[in-house]
């Protein structure tokens, strides 16, 4: 997907939603709205009781999903149902406890069977990821590791070596959540990462406006990751699923259009 978009001079929109928020049935419709709105990669979060990398928006979405009875199996089944609709890449975000509890090989076998393309594990450092990477490589599922502005170059090189699919660049210090502007340190870190790898680099944490998307893609990002914005929309419109889906579709469409405008401006 990234290569195809790159050949067209276009950035990727990775749309994140916590699977099961506000409930499994409604979450399926929200994921469909993201796809209909134009996301190029769908990222499904497996809800977890202690999402340490996430700010209030996604913490609350995880709480709603868990309260509705969502389990890791629920999320894997959602991925299997969603994949045939557009055949876009599907990535799971999960905390390592869930994978460890299931068993590495068993978890990745299930993910592969359900046509999951990659996994993001925010709390798994590369120093402790050898068995994880071996299981992922055996199942041919991408390993997507995170880099941050605080990551020194020697460690950044190791993260690049351990990653497949794309590099998840955390744009700011801190947790997920919509921000008002893109910081200079984000653009500086983006250039550091781009100098070290030919893998696509997607920027997340705080991306919430079309102008953010334009700035990042025109500065060399291969894609952007948007999640808290969609979680906030769900939280504001609980009880009105049709309106939620309409707003999410429109929002995703506006963000996707920004990836195209940015690419044209960059050319």
Model pLDDT for residues 3-32, shown as the tens digit of each residue:
999 888 889 999 999 999 999 999 999 999
- Please state, for a pLDDT cut of 90, what percent of the chain lies above it: 79
Using CB atoms within 10 A of its CB, is residue 166 exposed (0-12), middle (13-18) or buried (19+)? buried
Number of domains in the chain: 1
Q: Domain holding 140: CATH number?
A: 3.20.20.70
CB of 61 within 8 A of CB of 231? yes
Q: What pLDDT, on the 0 to 100 scale, is given for residue 177?
A: 42
Q: Which candidate, 111, 82, 91, 114, places its Cα nearest to that of 42?
A: 91
CB of 141 within 8 A of CB of 116? yes
> Measured between alpha carbons, how far is 88 from 84 in angstroms, rounded to an integer?
8
Which stretch of 14-18, 56-60, 82-86 has the lowest confidence by average pLDDT?
A: 82-86
- pLDDT band at 131, cuts 50/70/90? very high
CB of 143 within 8 A of CB of 162? yes
Q: What is the domain range of residue 43?
A: 2-266
Of 111 and 56, the one with more pLDDT: 111
- Would you please indicate which residues are annotated as catalytic (active-site) residues? 43, 54
């Amino acid at each position: 997907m990234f290569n195809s978009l790159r050949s067209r001079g276009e950035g990727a929109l990775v749309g994140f939603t916590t699977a099961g928020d506000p409930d499994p049935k409604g979450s399926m419709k929200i994921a469909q709205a993201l796809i209909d709105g134009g996301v190029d990669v769908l990222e499904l979060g497996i809800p977890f009781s202690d999402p340490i990398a996430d700010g209030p928006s996604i913490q609350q979405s995880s709480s709603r999903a868990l309260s509705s009875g969502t389990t890791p199996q629920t999320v894997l089944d959602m991925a299997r149902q969603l994949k045939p609709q557009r055949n876009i890449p599907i990535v799971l975000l999960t905390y390592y406890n869930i994978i460890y509890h299931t068993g590495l090989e068993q978890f990745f076998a299930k993910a592969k069977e359900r046509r999951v393309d990659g996994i993001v594990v925010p709390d798994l450092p590369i120093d402790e990821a050898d068995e994880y990477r071996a299981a992922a490589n055996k199942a041919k599922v991408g390993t997507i590791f995170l880099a941050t502005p605080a990551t020194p170059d020697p460690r950044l090189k190791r993260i690049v070596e351990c990653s497949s699919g794309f590099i998840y660049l955390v744009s700011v210090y801190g947790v997920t959540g919509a921000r008002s502007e893109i910081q200079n340190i984000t653009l500086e870190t983006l250039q550091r990462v781009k100098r070290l790898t030919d893998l696509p680099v997607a920027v997340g944490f705080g991306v919430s406006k079309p102008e953010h998307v334009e700035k990042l893609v025109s500065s060399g990002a291969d894609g952007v990751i948007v999640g808290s914005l969609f979680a906030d929309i769900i939280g504001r419109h609980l009880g009105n699923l049709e309106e939620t889906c309409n707003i999410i579709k429109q929002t995703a469409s506006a963000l996707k259009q920004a990836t195209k405008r940015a690419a044209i401006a960059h050319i």
